[in-house]
Every structure is written in structure tokens, then in C-alpha cells.
Amino acid sequence: MIRSNPTKLAFVAIMLAAACKPALSHIGVGSANSFAAGLAHPFFGIDHIIVMVAVGLWAALKGGRALWALPAAFVSLMLAGGALGIAGVPVPLVEPVILASIVALGLLIATAVDLPVATGAVIIGFFALFHGHAHGTEIPETAGGLEYLAGFALATAFLHGAGIGFGLLPGQRIRGLVRLAGAATAVAGLGLMVGAV
């Protein structure tokens, strides 16, 4: 695997996101008050699908403990971020960090960065906190926030599993396709930043 400096990759992605307009991908998403709404929501936003599948692809590239540790880090920190959002705890730069997560994860996959599992989980968890916060703030005070988050967590885990399943298909060609998908993810993130996607 190529050894790159993930701190520099993440910094570049965050700076690009901060310099661009927000995607506003979490505004006007419709109902956010039931298990079914939470279960359906990730399938109606390109940023959700891309990031959640990307987590699975990166876990598959790493293998071993990463197959469960990276998705578990994302889901658990996403739920923590959701709880912060529901509680009204402000978190700055939510949309820019969500956009940066798309670019950063894409670059990590495309370059097949080989990090310790714990470091990967910290990176994944950091981004997940912002994704979760965005969804927690969508939930009306009178709604069933826990049901919504439970549905969202289940859909998230499914998309992680889809990425892992694809990444674990046999053959060296698949590994190349996974890295190509990472590059496409980074490009899509840049497109979202400038409003081209």
C-alpha cells in the first residue's frame, strides 16, 4: 500500500470545503420523525450514499479488524452526533466538514493509505460526528428522534456492508476498482463543494 500523510490529505480536504459554499444537503429533507423516515433517508442523498459506502470500501481495503471497527466507529459516533443535534448543542462547520469527509475518504481509498485501525477509526468517527449532528438537528422537538436515528443507523450499516461486500470480492482487478471508486468519490466531493453535483 502507498503510505501517505493522512493529516495533510484531511487538511487539504477541509480547506477546500471551507472555501466553497455548503452543499445544504441536510436542509429540507422531508420527514424526520419515524424509524421508516430514518431508514429511507440515507438513500435519498448522494453525500450519504457516497460516504457510507466509502467507509465500507476503506474497511475492505484494510481488512481484518477494520472490517468491523471502521463501520462501528462511524455508526456509534454518528449516533453521538445525532444526540448532540437533538439536544441543540451547536457544532461549527458541519456542512463543510461533511463535504471534506467525502473528499478525504475518497483520497484515502484512492491512495490505499495504510493506517493503524485505531487511527482510521478516529478519522471515521470524527467525520461521523458531523454527519450525525446534521441529522439530529433535522428532527423536530415533538418527533420520535430515537426511532429516526435507529432507522438511520440501520441504513448506514447496510451501506457500509455494501461497500465491504464489493471490496471483498476476489481478484486484483476488484482492488483496482475500489481505488478507482475512491478517486471518483473524491471528485464527487469536489463537485458537491462547487455545486456541480
More confident residue, 46 or 95: 95
157-178 residue pLDDT tens:
999 999 999 999 988 789 899 9
pLDDT (mean) for 5-12: 48
Count: domains in the chain: 1
| Residue 25 located in a structural domain | no
pLDDT band at residue 195 using 50, 70 and 90 as cut-offs: confident
Q: Crossing angle, helix 6-19 and helix 172-193, to 10 degrees?
A: 30
Q: Which residue type does 169 have?
A: L
| Residue 12 located in a structural domain | no
Q: Is 127 left (phi over 0), alpha (psi -120 to 50) or beta?
A: alpha
| Residue 41 located in a structural domain | yes
CB count in 10 Å sphere of residue 35: 16
6: closest CA among 128, 132, 125, 106? 106
Terminal Cα distance for the chain, rounded? 30
Q: Is the pLDDT of residue 138 over 70?
A: yes
How many whole angstroms separate alpha carbon 48 and alpha carbon 111?
22
| Residue 16 located in a structural domain | no
| Residue 102 located in a structural domain | yes
pLDDT band at residue 11 using 50, 70 and 90 as cut-offs: very low
pTM for the complete prediction? Answer: 0.81
Q: Is the pLDDT of residue 139 over 80?
A: no
| Residue 8 located in a structural domain | no
Q: Is 30 left (phi over 0), alpha (psi -120 to 50) or beta?
A: left
- Name the phi and psi angles at 109, rounded to 5: -75, -50
| Residue 124 located in a structural domain | yes
Task: Tell me which residue range forms the domain holding 140.
Answer: 32-193
| Residue 10 located in a structural domain | no
How many whole angstroms separate alpha carbon 158 and alpha carbon 63?
18
Residue-averaged pLDDT of the chain: 83
137: closest CA among 195, 188, 87, 65? 87
Residue 17 has a pLDDT of 42
Q: Which residue type does 74 have?
A: F
pLDDT band at residue 56 using 50, 70 and 90 as cut-offs: very high
Widest distance between CA atoms in the chain? 51
Handedness of CA 126, 127, 133, 139 (dihedral sign): negative
Residue 53 has a pLDDT of 96
